[in-house]
Amino acid sequence: PPPRRPVGPAGLLNTGTNMLATLLRRNCYVAERPGAYEDRWKSGMIFQVPWGKHNPPSFRLRNVAKQGGKGVVQTDVLPVVVVRDPIGWMASMCRHPYAVRMGGNCRAGELVGTKEPVTVAYKEENVTAYESLVDLWRVWYEEWLVVPFPALYVRFEDLLFRPERVVDAVCDCAGGRRREKFYIKGESAKGEVGPHAGGSGYLESVVKYGNATRRGETLAMEEDREHVRSGRYASL
How does strand 78-83 pair with strand 152-155? parallel
pLDDT, tens digit (0-9, with 9 covering 90-100), for 181-229: 999 876 655 553 444 444 456 666 665 656 655 655 666 555 556 656 6
Question: Distance between CA atoms of 63 and 28, rounded to whole angstroms?
Answer: 27
Upper half-sphere CA count for residue 11 (Cβ side, 13 Å):
25
Question: Model pTM?
Answer: 0.84
- pLDDT band for position 232 (cuts 50, 70, 90): low
* pLDDT number for residue 215: 59
Confirm if 77 and 46 have CB atoms less than 8 A apart: yes
pLDDT, tens digit (0-9, with 9 covering 90-100), for 107-137: 888 888 888 999 999 988 889 999 999 899 9
SS3 sequence of the chain? CHHHCCEEEEECCCCCHHHHHHHHHHHEECCCCCCCCCCHHHCCECCCCCCCCCCCHHHCCCCCCCCCCCCCCHHHCEEEEEECCHHHHHHHHHHCCCCEECHHHEECCEECCCCCCEEEEEECCEEEEECCHHHHHHHHHHHHCCCCCCCEEEEHHHHHHCHHHHHHHHHHHCCCEECCCCCCCCCCCCCCCHHHCCCCCHHHHHHHHCCHHHHHHHCCCHHHHHHHHCHHHCCC
pLDDT, tens digit (0-9, with 9 covering 90-100), for 59-107: 999 999 999 999 999 999 999 999 998 888 998 999 999 999 998 888 8
